[in-house]
Structure 1
Amino acid sequence: MAQYARLWRVPGAPLLLVGGVVARLGQGVTVLAWLLLVKETTGGFSEAGLVGATISLATAATAPVAGRLADRYGAGRVLPLYAAAYAALQLVLLAAVLARLPLGVLCGVAALSGAAFPAISPALRAAWTTLTNEESGRGGVRQAAMAAESTLFELVFVVGPLLFSAFMLLGTPLGEALGTGGGTAGPAAALVFASLCTGFGTFVVARGQAMRALPSGGTKGARGIGPLREPALRMLLLCAAGIAFSFGGSPVAIAAYTKAHDGASAESVTGILIAVWSIGSAAAGLWYGSRTFRGSLGRRFLALLAALAAGYAVWALMPNSYALGAVLFVSGAVIAPALTVEAELVSRVVPERMLNEAYTWLTTVNLSMAALGSAVTGVVVDRPDGHMWGFLAAAAATAVAAVVAATGTLEAPASPEPAPTAPPAAPAPPAPTARTARTARTARTARTHHGTESDG
């Protein structure tokens, strides 16, 4: 654990690590909370799914804008504004849902809320990249920093659902006692908690030393397609698309598997299996960050993607949920290391002044492709033995990502910054002629004579 001890001693690191968890803890709560709250007030899962999807898609569509603003004006200035707007809009959406306003109004507020989501994860990765660059002399802990970032983000989705369950247990009897409805009190309390975590946590982290020290481009910030001009980043985004598709679809396939194998206890078994998958990822992420690896990052990424695809394929062969749980833990061990390498590759192929935007493009790809994976797998699992086809769809998507990693260039260095254009040299004065020489002598004599008279 020496690498993590070194990482903790980096100036500003404790706030990034601890504050980053608090700032993102709400992400592990809000998906379930909105789903159950909207379902309780509208009576349908389709309406609930539409509101949740609107939030995610709005975040995916606008994340690069937030990233470019953070690169141009500084994450320390931009993120607090986003955090305040997001927290306020989440509470407005909560009030609108409890007031049972029309679905169109709910989706409109949900879109505004999603668009205001603070890009805290991209900013954290950009901060780690800057803190561990070669000029800082801390390049040896970058792998540990990215591994810690990936692992802590995994833990958010382990702790978040547990917190939500606690709010449900406490809120349901309280709501019934107060006459406000047992089915709404728990999710509503969880959403208030999540809004406060995101708003306050993001503000504290953004105003910390490390985040305020991030370079900003000012008027020389990225223009046009920005970091997308880097071919290696485009290849990485294609790989990320396959991974995200599998992440979106695999929980749906797991739910279909437990429904087929576990009957009435399917819902609880699904939650346990997904938690086991996340725990395997988190444990492997901690181990990966504590080690020192040599060789090509691109080849390591390819090997991890191939292992992830193979793991999905093995899921389809499991005879019961106990066996699936064991395989989930083992195959989950690939996730955090793969995401760590992905983040390291982005830090190598994009200039520092465009890192926030580059990482927000990952957010856009992850959210949109995860939504697509969930939708496609939802259709696939409705057929006989659909869970098996859902697992194979996840394997195929990750295999495509591996093919892209094998055929593309993932480690090309960032394009050099354009050199400043030197101003044109002033033209040389013409050679003096006899006439101009006599004129110059006459002028000097006159100036000397005038100066003598003035001095007198």
Structure 2
Amino acid sequence: MSTANYRALLRTPGAAAFFLPALLGRVGGAMTGLGIVWLVHDRTGSFAAAGVVSGGFAVAEAVGAPQLARLADRFGQARVLPPALLGHAAAVAALVGLAAADAPRPLLALGGAAVGASVPQLPAMSAARWATLLRGGRAAELPAAFALESVGNAVSYLVGPALVSALAAAGHPAAGSALATSLTVGGGLLLTARRGSAPPHTSDRAAHARAGRTLLSGGLLVLLGLSLGIGVWFGAVQVSVAAFAVEHGVPGAAAPLFAVSSGSGLLAGWLYGLRRWRAAPPVQLLVATGVLTLGGVLLLTAGSPVALGLAVLVTGAAVPPLLALFSLLAEGTVDPLVLTQAFSWLGSASAAGSAAAAAVSGWAVDALGARGGFAVAAAAATATAALSAAGLRVLGAAVRDGA
């Protein structure tokens, strides 16, 4: 497959019209959580307070995301997005107002939770549209489409945090939250206007009950476990890389190391979608988790920033193909009527794993140094590889049944 096929995907009638607005909104989403940290810290002078509010945001998003996705699957994206976007904008405005008024921390935490619970699930909605657009005769192009989604996610998390951090450093943390909300709402409204590419929906309760049973299938449960493991990996590596840089007396090395990991992931995600792989997706999943496990061993043995850079080069390359495979396998596992929910549950599992790992790896770093945190990441990678091997047959059968 060549880069021309990416262009062919985006030239498919209606494709660019939903992918680009969702990408715009995704950048806003990538800014939101960090924007809350800067906003609260600016007003309270406490990273502990900022962490509590940001934690409330993350937990509420993990819980609320599948519920919003469920409404979108049942009533359609065009009906659910406008009130969700309005609620999200109002929640952000309320949080900014609470911060400006020096509200008590419990109120700030409640405001952060309101922001998280109202985050519109634009990435899941975009992925569901790709599945609808390419279902049938063009199903072979789905891996490339989901790879493009994975690359878009990586770009968002490169650009978004940099934008909001630059505004905070310039003394305008509230502007960062305002920009994040503007991008999210603007992208969401543009997506709402593109009704032709929206996935099918029905308000028939019986139909949804039947479709909802596929969310409890063995295949999706395996994918949720894998997504949880990847979330633990992310959370542990973020804390541990920063701790490693500090331990070696070069705290400024953390940013280049994260850039190496992100750049490697962008390239790997792009290259993954450029060809059609002969191996079945469950086998590809096993290989990718094996590479991640190897990277975990390299993290544990790294003795210098340069060696750690080589390790994160390997691990960064493994993640985007994994995320694309999660979407591909979920699409083949669940009923199309609940596909947005499936994608949202995967995101929620990853977010929950990342939040838990941040606390656990922080404890491990305090007790054992950076290698303690890397041990948490390596354990998560090993668990994903083991789960991939154990679930190989289940995932293969689920995809065949879905096909």
Work out which of the residue numbers 79, 84, 87 in structure 2 matches 1:85: 87
Q: Is the 8 A contact 2:302 2:308 kept in 1?
A: yes
The aligned residue for residue 22 of structure 2 is: 20
Matches within 5 A, 1:40-119: 40-119=42-121
C-alpha deviation, 1:84, in angstroms: 1.7
AA of the residue aligned to 1:157: Y
Q: Is the 8 A contact 1:227 1:357 kept in 2?
A: no
Work out which of the residue numbers 365, 375, 399 in structure 2 matches 1:381: 365
The aligned residue for residue 203 of structure 1 is: 189
Q: Is the 8 A contact 1:232 1:349 kept in 2?
A: yes
CA distance in structure 2 between the partners assigned to 1:248 and 1:319 by the alignment: 21
Q: Is the 8 A contact 2:154 2:266 kept in 1?
A: yes
CA distance in structure 1 between the partners assigned to 2:374 and 2:308 by the alignment: 12
Is 2:216 aligned against 1:214?
A: no
Q: Is the 8 A contact 1:245 1:373 kept in 2?
A: yes
Work out which of the residue numbers 215, 222, 231 in structure 2 matches 1:244: 231
CA distance in structure 2 between the partners assigned to 1:345 and 1:414 by the alignment: 7
Matches within 5 A, 1:289-368: 289-368=273-352
C-alpha deviation, 1:113, in angstroms: 1.6
The aligned residue for residue 223 of structure 1 is: 209
Is 2:400 aligned against 1:398?
A: no
C-alpha deviation, 1:194, in angstroms: 0.3
Q: Secondary structure at the match of 1:100?
A: coil
C-alpha deviation, 1:412, in angstroms: 2.8
CA distance in structure 1 between the partners assigned to 2:259 and 2:83 by the alignment: 33
Greater Cα offset, 278-287 or 80-89: 80-89
Distance 1:210 1:287, change over 3 A: farther
* Structure 2: unaligned runs, 5 residues or longer: none
Note the alpha carbon deviations across 1:162-213, whole angstroms, 9 max, x for none.
21243235x33xxxxxxxxxxxxx21111100011111111111321454x3
What is the percentage of aligned positions where both structures have the same residue? Answer: 32
The aligned residue for residue 159 of structure 1 is: 159
C-alpha deviation, 1:391, in angstroms: 1.1
C-alpha deviation, 1:120, in angstroms: 1.1
CA distance in structure 2 between the partners assigned to 1:54 and 1:11 by the alignment: 40
CA distance in structure 1 between the partners assigned to 2:74 and 2:126 by the alignment: 16
TM-score in terms of structure 2 length? 0.94
Of structures 1 and 2, the larger Rg is shown by: 1
Q: Secondary structure at the match of 1:223?
A: helix
Note the alpha carbon deviations across 1:228-248, whole angstroms, 9 max, x for none.
221111111111111111111
AA of the residue aligned to 1:303: V
Greater Cα offset, 19-28 or 143-152: 19-28
Q: Secondary structure at the match of 1:410?
A: helix
C-alpha deviation, 1:37, in angstroms: 2.2
Q: Secondary structure at the match of 1:166?
A: helix
AA of the residue aligned to 1:256: A
Q: Is the 8 A contact 1:155 1:279 kept in 2?
A: no
* Structure 1: unaligned runs, 5 residues or longer: 173-185, 418-456
The aligned residue for residue 413 of structure 1 is: 398
Greater Cα offset, 337-346 or 202-211: 202-211
Q: Is the 8 A contact 1:68 1:222 kept in 2?
A: no
Q: Is the 8 A contact 2:91 2:111 kept in 1?
A: yes
AA of the residue aligned to 1:223: A
Note the alpha carbon deviations across 1:364-395, whole angstroms, 9 max, x for none.
211111100111001000024x2112112111
Work out which of the residue numbers 194, 215, 218 in structure 1 matches 2:180: 194
Work out which of the residue numbers 242, 245, 258 in structure 2 matches 1:258: 245
Is 2:34 aligned against 1:32?
A: yes
Q: Is the 8 A contact 1:349 1:413 kept in 2?
A: yes
CA distance in structure 1 between the partners assigned to 2:55 and 2:225 by the alignment: 22
The aligned residue for residue 369 of structure 1 is: 353
C-alpha deviation, 1:103, in angstroms: 0.9
CA distance in structure 2 between the partners assigned to 1:31 and 1:158 by the alignment: 14
Between structures 1 and 2, the one with greater helix share = 2
Q: Secondary structure at the match of 1:129?
A: helix
CA distance in structure 2 between the partners assigned to 1:311 and 1:210 by the alignment: 43
C-alpha deviation, 1:226, in angstroms: 4.1
C-alpha deviation, 1:4, in angstroms: 0.5
CA distance in structure 2 between the partners assigned to 1:371 and 1:270 by the alignment: 20
After TM superposition, what 4+ stretches of structure 1 lie above 4 angstroms from structure 2? 414-417
Note the alpha carbon deviations across 1:422-453, whole angstroms, 9 max, x for none.
xxxxxxxxxxxxxxxxxxxxxxxxxxxxxxxx
Q: Secondary structure at the match of 2:249?
A: helix
Note the alpha carbon deviations across 1:10-47, whole angstroms, 9 max, x for none.
11111233212210112332233221221221222111
Instruction: Let me know the Cα RMSD of the aligned residues.
Output: 1.8
Distance 1:364 1:168, change over 3 A: closer
Greater Cα offset, 82-91 or 339-348: 82-91
Aligned residues: 396
